[in-house]
Amino acid sequence: MKMHRYFTAGSLAWLIAASSPTLSAQPNPHAGHNGDQHPVIEIPVHMAAPRIELDISRDRMSGFNLHIAYDRFELESPRYASDKPQHFLEGHAHLYINGEKIQRLYAADVHLPEKLLKPGFNQITVTLNAHDHSTWSRGGKRVLATLFIQRDKDNFVLHRFSTSPIASGEGGEKGNASLGVAHNGR
C-alpha cells in the first residue's frame, strides 16, 4: 500500500512537471499560445494581491463547468474598464488547457466542451491579466490557479493549485461566489 502512495505522488509530481508550460523541457507545439508571450506586470507593493481558486463540475449534458472564485480583483471586459481608484486591480482572465490558450474570460463561469480535454490527464489553468494582457504577478509569481483532472474518473480532480489562494487566511472579502458548494469531483 505504501508503494502505491509513493507511486501516485511521484506520478502526480511528474505530471505537473511534464505538463506545465513553464517547466516543460520539450518543445511546445503551441508555442506563442502558452501564456509566456504575455509580459508580467508586478502588483504595486501597497496593493493587496488578487486571490484566485478554481472549481469544476461535470455538466449534466456534456463536458464540464469551470468556476473561478476570486477576490481583490474586478473581472470584466475591457469595454467596461473605467478610471478606478489607483488601489483597485481590474482586467480579465486567460484560460489555458494543457498549455494552450483557449480564450479570454470576462466572467466567473465558463463551460468546457468535452472536446477541449484529451482522454487521461489534463491541466486547466486560469491567469489574471490586465486589460493590456499583461499577467498580474506578486514577487515574480504570476497570479494563477490550476486544476489537474482525469476526465474519465468519477473523482476526476487530482490536484488543485493556486499561487494566491483565497483560503490563505490573509483576510479580504470574497469577490464572487465561494467554493463552499460540493461538486462532483471534489
Residue 79 has what pLDDT? 82
CATH code of the domain covering residue 126: 2.60.40
Say what the pLDDT of residue 105 is.
98
Instruction: Please answer whether residues 23 and 13 qualify as being in contact, where contact means their C-beta atoms are separated by less than 8 angstroms.
Output: no
CA distance 77 to 91: 7
Q: Give dist(CA 51, CA 70) in Å, integer.
A: 5
Q: How confident is the model at residue 83 (pLDDT cuts 50, 70, 90)?
A: low
In the chain, % of residues over pLDDT 90: 57
Question: Does 23 map to a domain?
Answer: no
Say if 57 falls within a structural domain: yes
Q: Is residue 63 within 8 Å of 124, Cβ to Cβ?
A: no
Residue 114 is assigned to a structural domain of this protein? yes
85 falls within a domain: yes
DSSP for 52-103?
A: EEEEEEE-SSSSEEEEEEEESSEE--GGG-----TT--EEEEEEEETTEEEE
Single out the residue of 3, 10, 89, 76 nearest to residue 43, CA to CA. Answer: 89
Nearest CA to 120 out of 170, 160, 156 is that of 156
Which helix (H) or strand (E) segment holds residue 14: the answer is helix 2-19
Q: Is residue 171 very low, low, confident or very high in pLDDT (cuts 50, 70, 90)?
A: very low
Please state, rounded to an integer, the average pLDDT across all residues of the chain.
Answer: 77
How far CA 160 is from CA of 38, 45, 80, 85, 104, in Å, comes to 23, 27, 31, 33, 21
Q: Is residue 4 part of a domain?
A: no
Q: Is residue 9 part of a domain?
A: no
Quick: pLDDT tens for 20-48.
443 333 333 334 445 557 789 999 888 99
Predicted TM-score of the model (pTM) = 0.73
The parent domain of residue 87 ranges over 31-168
- Please indicate, yes or no, if residue 10 is contained in any of the structural domains: no
In a domain, 11, yes or no: no
Report how many domains make up the chain.
1
